[in-house]
Amino acid sequence: MVAALDSTTCETCAAMDGKQFPLKEEAAGINAPPFHARCRCCKAPVVEDEAPGERAARGEDGKTYYVPENMTYDEWKAQDVDNASEKSDVVSSGKSDIIKEKIRTAGKLPKTAKIHFSPAPVDMDLLSFDDKHINSERGHEVTREQAIQWIHDAKISVSVWGGRFERYYGTQGTVYVNTLNNLIRTAYAKDEYDDNTRAILEVIKKYAL
pLDDT (tens digit, 0 to 9) for every residue of the chain, 209 residues total?
898 888 778 888 888 898 898 988 888 888 888 888 778 788 888 877 666 677 888 776 667 777 778 888 888 777 665 555 555 555 555 578 889 999 999 999 999 999 999 899 999 889 999 999 999 999 999 999 999 999 999 999 999 999 999 999 999 999 999 999 999 999 999 999 999 999 999 999 888 77
Q: Where a domain ends, among 83, 118, 150?
A: 83
Q: Where a domain ends, among 83, 106, 128?
A: 83
Q: Which of 110, 95, 209 is nearest to 158 (CA)?
A: 110
Number of separate domains in the chain = 2
Do 171 and 71 fall within a single domain?
A: no
- Name residue 138's amino acid: R
Do 63 and 115 fall within a single domain?
A: no
Do 174 and 102 fall within a single domain?
A: yes
Q: Where a domain ends, among 25, 51, 83?
A: 83
Do 102 and 154 fall within a single domain?
A: yes
Check if the beta carbon of residue 50 is closer than 8 Å to that of residue 134: no
Domain that residue 61 falls in: 2-83
Residue 72 φ/ψ, nearest 5 degrees:
-85, 170
Do 147 and 66 fall within a single domain?
A: no
